[in-house]
A and B are shown apart, each in its own frame.
Chain A
C-alpha cells in the first residue's frame, strides 16, 4: 500500500493574515494624550486642594476667635451650677463637704434634677 504523500507541488498557502489596515494613531500618541489629560487633571486638583486648605484655615480661625467667648459662657454656667450644688449640699449636710482631695474645678458627675419642670 503506497504511503499518503503531499500533493505534487506542495500544499496551497493557508490564508492566516487578516488584511485590515491599522486604525488610529500610533500607540505612543495615545500614551502621550493620556498623560496630557492627567497632567491637566492634577493641575486643577492641586489648585483645588490649595483653595480648600485656605478655606479650612479661614473656618478654623473663625472658630478660634469665638472659642474664648463660648468657653467663657460655658464656664459661667458651670460655676453657677457648682455654687448651686454647694449651697444645696450645705443645706442638706450642714457643712461644706469636700468630695475630692483636690482644689481643681471638677464638673459634676450627676446633674441636679429640679422637682418641678423648669422649662
Chain B
C-alpha cells in the first residue's frame, strides 16, 4: 500500500484535524535528531520495558497495531520525554555540548567522545542511567570508552 507520505511541491497542505477526544492526549517528544541521538542510550536504559512492550504489542496486533497500541505508544513517549526532561534539568550544559557537537559532525558519534564522556558521567551521577552497547564482544573495551578513536579527525587520546 501507499507507504510513502504524500508530497506536494506547490503548497504545504496538512490535515490539521485534532485527535478525537476519546483518545488521551500526549505531548510529542519535540526533540530533533541530534538531541535524540545523544540521549538515545539513556532513553533505552530507562524505557526498555516500555519500548519492548510497545514493539511486542505492535508485533502481535496482527496489523492493527496503529490503533490498538496507542496506550503503549503514549507510555513510550512519556518515558522518553521524562528522560529528556531529567537530562535537561541536571546535565543541560553537557547535553547541549554533545548534541551540538553531533550536529556539527554529521551525527558521527566518534567525533564527539570528549563531550559524550562528560555527558555520560554527569547522567550516571545524577540520574543513574548508563550507556551500554548490547552485543559488544567479551574482553573488549566498548567503543565509546576507548580513549583513541581511529576514525576521528583527531585520532589521538580524546580526553
Interface residues of A (CB under 8 A from B): 47-48, 51-52, 54-55, 57-59, 61-69, 71-73, 75-76, 78-84, 87, 102-114, 117-119
Residues in B neighbouring A82, C-beta threshold 8 A = 66-67
Q: Which 7 A-B pairs have the closest CB atoms?
A: A65-B44, A72-B73, A104-B63, A111-B6, A84-B17, A54-B143, A68-B51
Cα distance, A64 to B36, chains bound together (Å): 12
The chain A residue with its CB closest to the CB of B51 is: A68
B interface SS class: loop
Residues in B neighbouring A79, C-beta threshold 8 A = 19, 23, 66-67, 70
Interface residues of B (CB under 8 A from A): 1-3, 5-6, 8, 11-20, 23, 26, 28-29, 36-37, 40-41, 43-44, 47, 50-51, 54-55, 58, 62-67, 69-70, 72-74, 76-77, 80, 109-110, 133-136, 140, 142-144, 146, 149-151
Contact assessment for B29 and A118 in the assembled complex, using a CB-CB cutoff below 8 Å: no
Partner of A69, one of B43, B58, B136: B43
